[in-house]
A and B are shown apart, each in its own frame.
Chain A
Amino acid sequence: MKKDIILSGVGGQGILSIATVIGYAAIDSGLYMKQAEVHGMSQRGGDVQSHLRISDKEIFSDLIPFGGADIILSIEPMESLRYLPYLAEDGWVITNNTPFNNIVNYPEVKDIETEIGKVKNHILIDADDIARSLGAPLSMNMVMIGAASGSLGIDFSKLEAGIKFIFGRKGDEIVNKNIEALRAGKSFSENFLKK
């Protein structure tokens, strides 16, 4: 088992919480892991990314090779495209479809969606909307993990355990909301792929 995942988004969107939950679940499953700290201008609205590598064997490079990523998991649609050079031929682009528009030359949303559509394996999800409808707008990141859960190679229960571990201090209500969001992301992907 080896999964190479690029996490991407815009500074301040919180891709770190995604890395932390998946990372915890990977370690809890007895796997090796390497995870790059969020790279980029995290506080200043610039593009940010992190390389997350999980394997049942020793991992060497801290960087995912170009053409080697199994998944690009992005919480912003244009940002998912920025890392296409890393994507393996049969890799997945799983991205939130809510644009984070903080620049004057942000492209047309339909053009972004066309480009994402050109990737053979992709899931486009309105994670913000799903999180909002659960009454937990801050859990958008967990919806995204759920959406990717089918291709992570980690038991779903381990992801839930990761959420419990990371949000445990904030009380049961927050934990449950986040787990609900995780599950909602999962069922969205399952339905999306049935279509």
Chain B
Amino acid sequence: MEKMLLLGDEALAQGVIDAGMSGMYAYPGTPSTEIMEYVQRSKTAAERDIHRKWSANEKTAAESALGMSYAGKRSMCAMKHVGLNVAADCFMNSAITGANGGTIVTVADDPSMHSSQNEQDSRNYGKFALMPTFEPSNQQECYDMAFHAFDMSEKYQIPILMRLTTRLSHSRSGVAVKEIREQNELKLPEDKRQFVLLPAIARKRYKMLLANQEKFEHESEMSPFNKYSDGSDKSVGIIACGIAYNYLMENYLDKECPYPVLKISQYPLPRKHIEKITSECGSVLVLEEGAPMVEEMLKGFLGNCLNIKGRLDGSLPRDGELNPNLVIKALTGKDFSMTPVPEIVAARPPKFCNGCGHIDAYNVLNEVMKEYGDGHVLSDIGCYTLAALPPFHSINSCVDMGASITMAKGAADAGLFPSIAVIGDSTFTHSGMTGLLDAVIENTNMVVLILDNSTTGMTGGQDSHAVDRLVSICEGLGVHKDHIIRVTPLKKNHEDMVRIIRQEIEYKGVSVVIPTRECMQTLKRKTKANK
């Protein structure tokens, strides 16, 4: 059969389409964005009328996917790892409500923080919620697991966590596809109170979840994705999770691995296999792409029962991604040699694109803030975060989406004057709006700059919910009309903008200034498409 050449993200997307998904919900975030983008491009998804529009944020995505499951159809939500923090309330509770139609929560982690604020390992959330978790090791498994995950979700009425990592999400390989399945019919849950988490019901359902753990463990023991291969040299046994398995096998291309290897791609941990490898082998090396989760579980707090090696004893680095070299070094103790990067090679930090409106906005802000000194600008996540770097040095924070407005509020409450928030349009509708409401309620003395480039720029230009709505949203939240001001960030408007921001700083209350000019990248794409 002909294979399709797909990224890990795309293989999962093709998998859920072929496995009869009716709706996908997501907010963009590297390295997960390509999953939704693939579904949006897919002809089959269009023919089957699969829901495939972006959501306002990860929480609304997760809840909508759960709602579709409630109605009996198969659904998936997808996000980057920090997105699961936003969706965590729904995620944790959905383990207790359970599912009706099969549902998958896909989370793409970014170890080594290639484009993220942290490298949290989502498998910990799976364990936290007591939810079965899949961690594909290659593109084919991404595809196959979509079927498996929907089946398991419907068999046990439980959502499934699907954890990807950057290198798999963003690497292409041949994938063999299966016959496409029908979607589910609309079918409400048999128990109409299943999703009502009143304490009395929640307690019952929580006990069911606990009782199911043994069955989930059994599923992991029988799973085609967890594989035990015996080896003659039992001095070391190797537990390799997700793509760490590839980094191990990369070292045994022309010879057989002499050690017993337990490949893990489905959790909870397969107890029987773990018992076998730990009892038969002198020591156990745990390879995980991310946090030492399995290692900690096996080692226990005191670490005094088994000889476990991994990230905690220094066999592997405590943080960052793995690679084939680190794995073989942990196994053999032999260091690897490599040519160093010549000293003359200079860093090429990312920059604003030529002509970007953010440049003009920051030139204005920098001029205004000269009067007050550094330290007054709380910002957020997006292309505009690049203003933390030279030559701008304009902003003083970037923590989590939406935090600019609320941190500026807290700082204003503490007496900081002026207190300025800088946020992007998509970030504002993601989770800036609620914070602005807090500020309006207390009439906090602050200025909010919403840098509106009418797209979700940082992640490649996905549609922004904010387009044409920012002024009415701010009005609706109660910001005074006279203090919602749209400006066009262009050199010729520099003086005007300086004057406006100065004036709004002097106003004692909430002001919102909205520099609005289209992103150069989306503009370029549109011009090209129109040619």
Residues of A near any B CB (own CB < 8 A): 2, 10-11, 23, 27, 32-37, 39, 41, 43-47, 51, 57, 59-63, 65-68, 78, 81-82, 84-87, 102-103, 105-108, 111-112, 115
The reply to whether A23 and B345 contact each other, CB–CB distance below 8 Å, is no
How far does the Cβ of A26 sit from chain B's closest Cβ, in whole Å? 10
Residue B7 is within 8 A (CB to CB) of chain A in the complex: yes
A45-B348, A84-B339 as given contacts; A65 in contact with B325, CB under 8 Å: yes
A-B contact pairs, 19 of them (CB 8 A): A23-B5, A34-B172, A36-B167, A43-B353, A43-B521, A44-B383, A60-B246, A61-B249, A62-B246, A63-B323, A67-B336, A67-B338, A84-B341, A85-B341, A87-B339, A102-B348, A103-B347, A111-B344, A115-B342
Give residues 159-179 of B contacting A (CB, 8 Å): 167-168, 170-174
The reply to whether A81 and B345 contact each other, CB–CB distance below 8 Å, is yes
Partner of A44, one of B323, B341, B351: B351
Interface string of B338-367 (1 = CB under 8 A from A): 111110111111111100000000000000
Contact residues in A for B342 (Cβ distance below 8 Å): 81, 84, 115
Contact residues in B for A37 (Cβ distance below 8 Å): 7, 34, 170-172
**Best-buried of B173, B325, B344, B348 by chain A (most CB within 10 Å):** B348
Partner of A66, one of B168, B336, B347, B349: B336
The reply to whether A39 and B170 contact each other, CB–CB distance below 8 Å, is yes
Interface string of B231-254 (1 = CB under 8 A from A): 000000000000101110110010
**Best-buried of A36, A39, A43, A103 by chain B (most CB within 10 Å):** A43
Taking A82-B345, A111-B344 as known contacts, 4 extra A-B pairs with beta carbons closer than 8 A to each other, sorted by chain A number, are A23-B172, A33-B172, A60-B245, A60-B253
The reply to whether B344 and A46 contact each other, CB–CB distance below 8 Å, is no
Residue B324 is within 8 A (CB to CB) of chain A in the complex: yes
The reply to whether A34 and B346 contact each other, CB–CB distance below 8 Å, is no
Contact residues in A for B243 (Cβ distance below 8 Å): 62
Residue B332 is within 8 A (CB to CB) of chain A in the complex: no
What separation, in Å, do the CA atoms of A68 and B247 have in the docked complex? 13
What separation, in Å, do the CA atoms of A111 and B345 have in the docked complex? 10
How far does the Cβ of B360 sit from chain A's closest Cβ, in whole Å? 17
Contact residues in B for A82 (Cβ distance below 8 Å): 341, 345
Contact residues in A for B350 (Cβ distance below 8 Å): 11, 41, 44-46
A36-B167, A62-B243 as given contacts; A103 in contact with B346, CB under 8 Å: yes
Residue B508 is within 8 A (CB to CB) of chain A in the complex: no
The 3 closest A-B pairs by CB, nearest first: A41-B350, A62-B171, A44-B350
The reply to whether B338 and A66 contact each other, CB–CB distance below 8 Å, is yes
The reply to whether B338 and A107 contact each other, CB–CB distance below 8 Å, is no
What separation, in Å, do the CA atoms of A57 and B250 have in the docked complex? 12
Residues of B near any A CB (own CB < 8 A): 5, 7, 34, 114, 167-168, 170-174, 243, 245-247, 249-250, 253, 323-325, 336-342, 344-353, 383, 386, 460, 521
Contact residues in A for B348 (Cβ distance below 8 Å): 10, 45-47, 102-103
**Best-buried of A59, A60, A82, A87 by chain B (most CB within 10 Å):** A60
The reply to whether B337 and A61 contact each other, CB–CB distance below 8 Å, is no
**Best-buried of A10, A41, A62, A63 by chain B (most CB within 10 Å):** A62
Chain A's closest residue to B7 (CB) is A37
What separation, in Å, do the CA atoms of A108 and B345 have in the docked complex? 10
What separation, in Å, do the CA atoms of A85 and B350 have in the docked complex? 22
What separation, in Å, do the CA atoms of A189 and B243 have in the docked complex? 38
The reply to whether B168 and A62 contact each other, CB–CB distance below 8 Å, is yes
What separation, in Å, do the CA atoms of A23 and B173 have in the docked complex? 10
**Best-buried of A44, A78, A82, A87 by chain B (most CB within 10 Å):** A44
What separation, in Å, do the CA atoms of A39 and B168 have in the docked complex? 12
How far does the Cβ of B14 sit from chain A's closest Cβ, in whole Å? 16
Chain A's closest residue to B356 (CB) is A44
What separation, in Å, do the CA atoms of A82 and B346 have in the docked complex? 9
The reply to whether B250 and A45 contact each other, CB–CB distance below 8 Å, is no
The reply to whether B340 and A85 contact each other, CB–CB distance below 8 Å, is yes
The reply to whether B250 and A65 contact each other, CB–CB distance below 8 Å, is yes
Chain A's closest residue to B324 (CB) is A65
Contact residues in A for B246 (Cβ distance below 8 Å): 60-62
Contact residues in B for A67 (Cβ distance below 8 Å): 325, 336-339
What separation, in Å, do the CA atoms of A66 and B345 have in the docked complex? 18
Partner of A34, one of B173, B245, B338, B340: B173
Contact residues in B for A111 (Cβ distance below 8 Å): 344
The reply to whether A65 and B323 contact each other, CB–CB distance below 8 Å, is yes
How far does the Cβ of B383 sit from chain A's closest Cβ, in whole Å? 8
What separation, in Å, do the CA atoms of A65 and B329 have in the docked complex? 12
Chain B's closest residue to A34 (CB) is B173
Chain B's closest residue to A62 (CB) is B171
Chain A's closest residue to B169 (CB) is A37
How far does the Cβ of A46 sit from chain B's closest Cβ, in whole Å? 4
A61-B324, A62-B167 as given contacts; A81 in contact with B341, CB under 8 Å: yes
**Best-buried of A57, A63, A103, A115 by chain B (most CB within 10 Å):** A63
Chain A's closest residue to B246 (CB) is A60
The reply to whether A102 and B351 contact each other, CB–CB distance below 8 Å, is yes
What separation, in Å, do the CA atoms of A59 and B108 have in the docked complex? 22
What separation, in Å, do the CA atoms of A133 and B247 have in the docked complex? 44
Contact residues in B for A44 (Cβ distance below 8 Å): 350-353, 383, 386
What separation, in Å, do the CA atoms of A193 and B429 have in the docked complex? 58
